[in-house]
Amino acid sequence: MTNFSDMGWNIVRQPGDLRNRLLAAGPDGPVHVVYQPIGGDPVEHWEHMAWLCLMAENLIIVADEVDMICSAGSPASARSPYWKKYQRMPALQKIVQYGRHSKVAFLATARRPQDVWRGLTGQAGRIVVFKMNERLELDAVRDRLGSDTDRLPNLLPYTYLDWNDAEGEVNVGGGKR
């Protein structure tokens, strides 16, 4: 497991700590922060963190397990009680649709591509997919990978298919470790 603090990154666990780091870095940064909330509703943490990042501008947001904060049909997770309290545009929707205006780039990981909001996958400029063989998973990436999707169940360990919108083709990457 990567220890980000050994690499000079700050670990923050609350939105207020993130706000303070962003303010200290100023508009020209840099700021290297890993937001790792402990306890509470992950969607509520995500919403506060993401809106702070959108206001700060000029940064990259990486969401691990993005399917925990959205669903296939919505940028909001229906499982979260957060949406019963607040009526506003989900931060994920704002990032995907308008993040470029704030110079915010977005990277996401998910184990279950069929559970990721289609608005996000539809705007993705690059998709990297490791071995998978469940029909729902394969169907979720077939529109981008096309017939190359059929190669996924047979990929070797640490090998992946890399679809890049700019190139319009699927390449094989990774390999033996």
Which residues, 6 or more positions from 8, have their beta carbon under 8 angstroms from its beta carbon? 32
| Lowest-pLDDT range of 46-50, 78-82, 140-144 | 78-82
Alpha carbons 77 and 43: distance in angstroms, whole number: 7
pLDDT above 90: percentage of residues in the chain:
51
Burial (CB count <10 Å: 0-12, 13-18, 19+), residue 133: exposed
Q: What is residue 16's predicted lDDT score, i.e. its pLDDT? A: 92
Which comes out higher in pLDDT, residue 160 or 144?
160
Q: What is residue 49's predicted lDDT score, i.e. its pLDDT? A: 92
pLDDT tens column, 29-74: 888 888 888 888 889 999 999 999 999 888 889 888 899 889 898 9
Alpha carbons 47 and 53: distance in angstroms, whole number: 10
Alpha carbons 84 and 1: distance in angstroms, whole number: 36
Is a pLDDT exceeding 80 seen at residue 96?
A: yes
Task: Using a cut of 0.85, tell me whether the model's pTM lies above it.
Answer: no
Mean pLDDT (the chain) is 90
- Cα 49 to Cα 13, 89, 121: the distances in Å are 10, 14, 21
Alpha carbons 57 and 168: distance in angstroms, whole number: 29
| Confidence band, pLDDT 50/70/90 cuts, at residue 80 | confident
- Torsion angles phi and psi, residue 153, rounded to 5: -65, -20
- Specify whether the CB–CB gap between 163 and 155 falls below 8 A: no
